[in-house]
Chain A
Amino acid sequence: MKRVYSILAFLILGLALVAAGCGSKKDEKPAAAGGDKPKEVVLGYTGPLSGPAAEYGQDCFNGLEMAVNDINNAGGFTVGGKKHVFKLEKLDDMADPTNAVNNARRFLNQYKSKVIFNPVFTTTAPMMQINQEKGNEFLIMAYTSTPKAVQMNNSLVVAVPPPFTTYVHALADMAVSQGWKNIAMVVTLGAYGDEWRKAFKEHWESKGGKITADRPANYYTETNFSTQLTAVLATKPDALLIGGPSAPTGLVIEQARGLGFKGGFILVDQAKMEYIDKVVLKGITLMENTMGVAATTQTPLAGSVAFTKKYNDLHKKVATSEVTLNYCSVHALARAMEAAGTVEDPVAIRAAFPKAFPMLGDKFPAEYFGINDKGRMMVMPSVQLIKDGKYSPTVFYAYWPKNEEEFNKVKTETKMTGGTIKYLRVTE
């Protein structure tokens, strides 16, 4: 029996060590500011900062960081007559659920943050399991486009991007206008890709179109797509629905062209045209007849033009919509805190969110018109087509208005300086 006891000894010594160690760190909480110094509000960000999704995680973080700096440099925001500034802390979770929950607990208990940002649904989901515990509530700002995020009836979640289903409808609409009928799919494997394929297939077939082939590929681990492409191109499609992370998506375009494909491409919303153009293919020659999420560099909003330039100067990178939308989300949060009159109570902050809007394109790089009662912030998905060697004007789709009247209100509010705006109702 001696061994069992010695094991027990080590087990408990370990526990004690953890306890002692972690306990001592507790004092590290942000110094409460006295006098007229603005009070610091700590925001937490947990996301993939290493591993295969690190670039995505870093882009999201960059957007948040820029917003925090902009807000603080402008003197902060006012809650209860007192100036407040944000402090943004980041922890890496490598997109692993265990790490994400650890990080959330750490933010909550040691950094005393009440708001946590996360950009990956498979890590948001377990956090949603714990964010409503009595006395330990925190608000999740989720950068996730899956409708599942707002269908889980969690009252402390704010979803930042538009649901991807709106892109399904918008791109299908645009594809019809190009006269495409037969579409083959080579979309990324993964939670997001699975949902995209399913939603697109249903919608496209309901519009009378035809899916000629469906061969998903793992965009995260593979770079040779010729097997799938050869198989789907044999069905003679008008266009291919492709996409996953931008870099391999560019490769798919190149390889499909290499196999002699002359038709169009529809990119799922994860793939960014401006990135493929500028970084992967160095030009849009191969991208003729490609449609996808509108390039942020082309967005007809004064705020967007200024923002993308500033971002590019700072990071020497293209500001994709991950950057711009995350940027806006921090501003929305600050406005919600001002309206709620508290920086401490997640329930009140969430309740005050509707008062944060509208946020329009004269000041912001994207336009937010409101938040629905499930927690989805409402921004118009915008899509674009590359035709005749150049980007055609952006098309915005207002998906939430219940009737023409509400749609007209959006039309009068917007600060768009170009492009077109269409009404296409989609519910999550």
Chain B
Amino acid sequence: MDLFFQQIFNGIMMGSTYAVVALGLTLVYGILHIPNFAHGHLYMLGAYVSFFAITSHGLGFWAAMAVSVAVLALLGIVVERVVYRPLKDQPHINSFISAIGALMILETWVIVTWGPQAQRIPNPYPGAVELLGITMTQQRLLLIVSAMVLIILLQIFIKKTTPGTAIEAVAQNREGAMLVGINVDRIFSLTFAISTGTAAIAATLVAPIFMISPAMGALLGMKAFVIVILGGLGSIPGAIVGGYFLGIVEALGGGYISADYKDVIAFGALLLILAVKPNGLFGKEVA
């Protein structure tokens, strides 16, 4: 039974990352209808910015995270302007191809700057905790708790604040939002900044536990897409539940069935579900 709970814990930990990253993606993909396929790579860059801040400028862990969030939010705005906005009125697939261009640039840029090898951020909280027969490190616990706090804060932001409701308004009816005086372009920038900023937080939290590498975002980005599609396009609860669910399923599948095929689970599930419901589980249409 210990084994089972340990795997569940592992799953929740990975799931926290998935949930935060998918949440950011569902904002831009689900609400703005931009298939930001470079999302995983922006997440990766977030980890590198933190790494850079810590190792080159001697910043503390939390200060580095703040820097990373700021840089990535800014970069998010730039990416939206440069890569996606000129293609706003064209078929989705053009944005998708443009995104592939963007992710090639991001990944290579990181390789050229920091080298292809994996890097480490020193672990700020290395101690271990024993709880109910499960061994866990403090940093892992921190990741889980921080992810939950972040998710709750985002919910409050979107539901209770003016800019948050403006995002929802744009999501529901772009022309309508424009008519009541909402600056849609600004909302696009804001949403992108939030999306990439939260990815930077997730990346920085994960970085000390694992290593960071230029390839760390590619698979994660794809999985985030799977979660967003299965959880329902633009559905925030869908992204959160889907993220945790995938984390746990992968941990159990990898632990009990086959670690070799662990990554197939997410992609296989997507294939199967779309076979039954071509518009995803909660079926919103995309053009």
A–B contact via C-beta, under 8 angstroms: yes
Q: Answer whether residue A55 sits at the interface, using C-beta atoms and an 8 A cutoff.
A: yes
Within the complex, what minimum Cβ distance (angstroms) separates B165 from chain A? 37
> Is A215 within 8 A of B259, CB to CB?
yes
Give A53's nearest chain B residue, CB to CB.
B116
A251 partner, pick from B2, B115, B135, B210, beta carbons under 8 A: B210
Given the contacts A226-B10, A258-B135, A259-B135, A231 and B260 also touching, CB distance less than 8 Å: no
Complex Cα gap A303–B165 (Å)? 71
Contacts of A215 in B (CB 8 A): 254, 259
Q: Answer whether residue B117 sits at the interface, using C-beta atoms and an 8 A cutoff.
A: yes
Contacts of A280 in B (CB 8 A): 120
Interface residues of A in 252-273 (CB under 8 A from B): 258-260
Interface size class of B (residues with CB under 8 A): 20 to 34
Q: Answer whether residue B219 sits at the interface, using C-beta atoms and an 8 A cutoff.
A: yes
Q: Answer whether residue A122 sits at the interface, using C-beta atoms and an 8 A cutoff.
A: no
Q: Answer whether residue A248 sits at the interface, using C-beta atoms and an 8 A cutoff.
A: yes
> Is A258 within 8 A of B7, CB to CB?
no
Contacts of B10 in A (CB 8 A): 224, 226-227, 230
Complex Cα gap A189–B3 (Å)? 23
Contacts of B262 in A (CB 8 A): 227
Interface residues of A in 19-51 (CB under 8 A from B): 50-51
User: How would residues 210 to 221 of chain B score, 1 for a CB under 8 Å from any chain A CB and 0 otherwise?
Assistant: 111111100100
Contacts of B135 in A (CB 8 A): 258-260
> Is A55 within 8 A of B6, CB to CB?
no
Complex Cα gap A221–B120 (Å)? 15
> Is A221 within 8 A of B259, CB to CB?
no
> Is A50 within 8 A of B111, CB to CB?
yes
Most chain B CB inside 10 Å of its own CB: which residue of A52, A53, A55: A52
Contacts of A260 in B (CB 8 A): 128, 130, 135
Complex Cα gap A220–B111 (Å)? 15
Most chain B CB inside 10 Å of its own CB: which residue of A50, A189, A223, A230: A230
Give A217's nearest chain B residue, CB to CB.
B259
> Is B255 within 8 A of A227, CB to CB?
yes
> Is B255 within 8 A of A221, CB to CB?
no
User: How would residues 248 to 265 of chain B score, 1 for a CB under 8 Å from any chain A CB and 0 otherwise?
Assistant: 001100111001101000
Q: Answer whether residue A216 sits at the interface, using C-beta atoms and an 8 A cutoff.
A: yes
A223 partner, pick from B3, B111, B216, B254, beta carbons under 8 A: B216
A230 partner, pick from B115, B116, B128, B255, beta carbons under 8 A: B255
> Is A223 within 8 A of B213, CB to CB?
yes
Complex Cα gap A226–B118 (Å)? 18
Within the complex, what minimum Cβ distance (angstroms) separates B140 from chain A? 8
Q: Answer whether residue A234 sits at the interface, using C-beta atoms and an 8 A cutoff.
A: yes
Give A261's nearest chain B residue, CB to CB.
B135
Interface residues of A in 226-262 (CB under 8 A from B): 226-228, 230-231, 234, 245, 247-248, 251, 258-260
Give A247's nearest chain B residue, CB to CB.
B118
Q: Answer whether residue B14 sits at the interface, using C-beta atoms and an 8 A cutoff.
A: yes
Given the contacts A50-B111, A189-B260, A251-B211, A231 and B7 also touching, CB distance less than 8 Å: yes
Most chain B CB inside 10 Å of its own CB: which residue of A51, A245, A251, A258: A258
Interface residues of B in 1-44 (CB under 8 A from A): 2-3, 6-7, 10, 13-14
Q: Answer whether residue A125 sits at the interface, using C-beta atoms and an 8 A cutoff.
A: no
Complex Cα gap A51–B218 (Å)? 14
Q: Answer whether residue B55 sits at the interface, using C-beta atoms and an 8 A cutoff.
A: no
> Is A248 within 8 A of B116, CB to CB?
no
Q: Answer whether residue A410 sits at the interface, using C-beta atoms and an 8 A cutoff.
A: no
Q: Answer whether residue A79 sits at the interface, using C-beta atoms and an 8 A cutoff.
A: no
Q: Answer whether residue A54 sits at the interface, using C-beta atoms and an 8 A cutoff.
A: yes
Give A230's nearest chain B residue, CB to CB.
B6
Within the complex, what minimum Cβ distance (angstroms) separates A381 from chain B? 25
Complex Cα gap A217–B115 (Å)? 23
Within the complex, what minimum Cβ distance (angstroms) separates A398 from chain B? 34
Q: Answer whether residue B137 sits at the interface, using C-beta atoms and an 8 A cutoff.
A: yes
> Is A247 within 8 A of B7, CB to CB?
no
Within the complex, what minimum Cβ distance (angstroms) separates A260 from chain B? 4
Give B136's nearest chain A residue, CB to CB.
A258
Complex Cα gap A227–B260 (Å)? 12
> Is B117 within 8 A of A224, CB to CB?
no
Known pairs A223-B209, A228-B254 / 16 extra A-B pairs, C-beta < 8 Å: A51-B116, A55-B116, A223-B210, A223-B213, A224-B210, A226-B10, A227-B255, A227-B259, A227-B262, A230-B10, A234-B2, A247-B117, A247-B211, A251-B211, A259-B6, A260-B130
Q: Which residues of A contact B (CB under 8 A)?
A: 50-55, 189, 215-217, 220-221, 223-224, 226-228, 230-231, 234, 245, 247-248, 251, 258-260, 280
**Top 10 closest pairs, chain A to chain B, by CB:** A223-B210, A54-B116, A227-B254, A234-B3, A55-B117, A260-B135, A231-B255, A247-B118, A226-B10, A230-B6
